[in-house]
Amino acid sequence: MKSIGVIGVVIILILAVFGIGGCSYNGMVKKEEAVSSAWSQVENVYQRRSDLIPNLVNTVKGAANFEQETLTAVTQARASATQVKIDPTNLNAESIQKFEQAQSGVSSALSRLLVSVERYPELKANQNFRDLQVQLEGTENRITEERRKFNLVVQEYNSSIRSFPNNLMAGMFGFEKKAYFEAITEGAEKAPEVAF
């Protein structure tokens, strides 16, 4: 009789451990998927910006004597940035920094382009250019917002896998800390201003 009671207690303890462990594991999987989803949104808004660039370049090309070097720099920066792809399961500091450096090149080239436009009043008066400028400004704001959301989701995930008892399950099943978006240059945490 006594051995049946001991076996019953052992079975209950085993079921409790598996139940808690299963809930813990499933929670970490959901949080990891939320990180992947948030990363997809970050890439999505950067892609939107990238998609606006050819229209912006074509609109600016129409201005007489516009600096070809500036247009070439924007086009090359866009091409370089679109080559950098990151697997959401490998969101470490190095891969995010590589992605951000490529995107910073686009931001820098766009800033130079928009500064150059100041010398062309007919271009600033062009409705297509003004529409693209508004879309670009909205996209830059979305980039900032999606990066913020991504960092919040990463914080929740990282906190979860580092908290006891999840840290035990995380170690056993290979859940690793994810990296945050961080400003790589002074002032990079702010969206570039594109207003005239």
On whether residue 6 sits in a domain, the answer given is no
Residue 149 covered by a domain = yes
pLDDT at position 85:
86
186 domain-assigned: no
- Whether 111 is covered by a domain: the verdict is yes
Structural domains in the chain (count): 1
The span from the CA of 196 to the CA of 37, in Å, is: 35
Phi, psi of 188 (to 5 degrees): -70, -15
Q: Is the peptide bond before 165 cis (omega within 30 degrees of 0)?
A: yes
Asked whether residue 5 is assigned to any structural domain, the reply reads no
* Predicted pLDDT of residue 145: 96
Q: Along the chain (196 residues), what's the average pLDDT of each consecutive run of 10 residues?
A: 68 57 78 94 94 88 74 89 86 89 92 84 82 91 95 94 87 89 60 51
Spatial CA neighbour of 180 closest among 150, 159, 156, 160 = 150
CATH number of residue 136's parent domain: 1.20.1440.20
Residue 29 domain-assigned? Answer: no
Residue 169 maps to a domain: yes
- Position 77 in a domain: yes
Q: 50 lies in which domain range?
A: 34-173
Report pLDDT for 106: 92
The pLDDT assigned to 196 comes to 43
pTM over 0.85: no
